[in-house]
Amino acid sequence: MTAQSVMNGVKVTPAWTADVLPGFERITLAAENAFDGPVDVVLVRRRAETGTGSAVLYVHGFVDYFFQTHLADFFVQQGLHFYAVDLRRHGRSLRNGQRPNFTMNFDEFLEDVNIAVEYLRKEEGVNWLLLKGHSTGGLVAALYAHRGLGRKHVEAVFLNSPYLDTNLPTWKERMVEPLVALLGRWFPLVRIPGFSQVYGQSLHEDHHGQWKFNTEWKPIEGFPVFAGWFTAVHRAQAEVQRGLNIECPCLVMHAHRSSMPVKWNEDAMTSDVILNVEDISRLSERLGPNVEIQAIPNGVHDLILSKEASRNIVWGILRGWLVRIRNVGMAGLVCMFGSWESCWVADCGLEVLSQFV
């Protein structure tokens, strides 16, 4: 085990070290022991050249870890320091003997986010924080912004295809989902059906995709899914269904359509094959009073792993939203384009949208 010290109440490794991704650094923040023993929370960073105190903290999804370097490139170009947390039992934080990505309570993941938020505030000089979550990480980020211990330090939230509801037919949601959730309370280690390989195949360069990632941390076939994990998801999603109160600005993006291929199909390259985008749109309205929802043409589940044209739409919308909520540079943009509305249209790059209409 790596030697650790205590810094402002948070156990950390002595110093930042080189990460597996070139140009990035990592540090291990150790949480309190969990039901399965010691756990690690690894924080990855790439700091912007400016001396700003603004930053983004990225929270990944299930069968996932941080590897999307172009996401960091975008935020650094906006003058934000970039940080990503690999949650306990995920990616860099996965210890030998642990069940990958498993939890029986999402409060564990909220604790991981809180450890990272506290470290950014106390040790990295961060005084403006955007919390970004993808898929299951989007559910974690939403709950943290709603009731996390450090929610008052989150100035904005960006959710990329958040896992707000399980993608099941209505009859299964009503009859099967509650039974599986009950099963997980008493028999948490019972295996249940997992996710299709199609999504992983659509992403990795060795199959049909263009991205390179560690398949030990993000296997194409996914990790085993256990009933206890499903129960934890069910409880977390029930909170969203009852309604959250995220007070800060919240941007939600999702693909413009879903598809459910059981074997390889080109649809996987231009749609969300994991979640139902109608569920995302419907439930996003329950996140808080200041939510903006955007559908991305030809986007995939992780929108920033979509084809370039769709990614450009994401960057344009996100850039414009950041300018508006931070109120930085807007006066200059208004002068350039003549009005607030013209500024928004220009900054979202709607010339890219024209490819799809």
Average model confidence (pLDDT) across the chain: 90
* Domain extent listing, the chain: 5-326, 332-357
CATH code, residues 5-326:
3.40.50.1820
The pLDDT of 102-107, averaged and rounded, is: 98
Residue 3 pLDDT > 60 = no
- Asked whether the beta carbons of 320 and 344 are under 8 A apart, the reply is yes
* Range scoring the smallest mean pLDDT among 45-49, 136-140, 166-170, 201-205: 166-170
Q: Are 288 and 245 in contact (CB under 8 A)?
A: yes
In this predicted structure, what is the pLDDT of residue 7?
Answer: 53
Q: Residue 2 pLDDT > 70, yes or no?
A: no
The answer to whether residues 208 and 198 touch, using CB atoms and an 8 Å cutoff, is: no
pLDDT at 352 over 60: no
pLDDT of 347 strictly over 60: no
Residue 123 contacts residue 150 (beta carbons within 8 Å): no
Residue 340 has pLDDT above 90, yes or no: no
Q: Do the Cβ atoms of 302 and 160 come closer than 8 Å?
A: yes
Contact 279, 164 (CB under 8 A): yes
Q: Are 85 and 61 in contact (CB under 8 A)?
A: no
**% of the chain at pLDDT higher than 90:** 80
- Comparing 26 with 340, which gets the higher pLDDT? 26
Give the pLDDT of residue 324. Answer: 96
Least confident of 16-20, 173-177, 227-231: 173-177
Supply the pLDDT for residue 331.
Answer: 36
Beta strands in the chain (DSSP E): 5-7, 10-12, 17-18, 25-30, 40-46, 54-59, 81-86, 128-134, 156-160, 191-192, 225-226, 250-255, 291-296
Q: What is the dihedral of CA 338, 342, 344, 346, to 10 degrees?
A: -100
Q: Is 245 helix (H, G, I), strand (E, B) or coil?
A: coil
Predicted confidence band of residue 327 (pLDDT cuts 50, 70, 90): confident
pLDDT at 255 over 50: yes
pLDDT per residue as tens digits for the range 242-254? 999 999 999 999 9
Residues 10-64 have pLDDT tens digits of 565 568 999 999 999 999 998 899 999 999 999 999 999 987 899 999 999 999 9
Percent of the chain at pLDDT > 70 equals: 88
What pLDDT does 176 receive? Answer: 87
Instruction: Point out which residues pair with 29 in neighbouring strands.
Output: 12, 41
Q: Please give the average per-residue pLDDT across 154-173, as a whole number.
A: 92
Q: What is the pLDDT of residue 50?
A: 81
User: What is the average pLDDT across 299-319?
Assistant: 98
Checking if the pLDDT of 299 tops 70, the result is: yes
Higher pLDDT, 352 or 63: 63
Return d(Cα 132, Cα 59) in angstroms, integer.
6
Stretch 196-215: mean pLDDT, rounded? 97
Residue 292 corresponds to which tokens in the numbers above?
């903006």
Which range scores top for mean pLDDT: 51-55, 79-83, 337-341?
79-83
Lowest model confidence (mean pLDDT) among 146-150, 185-189, 343-347:
343-347
How far apart are alpha carbons 101 and 341 in whole angstroms? 43
Residue 335 has pLDDT above 70, yes or no: no
pLDDT at 5: 53
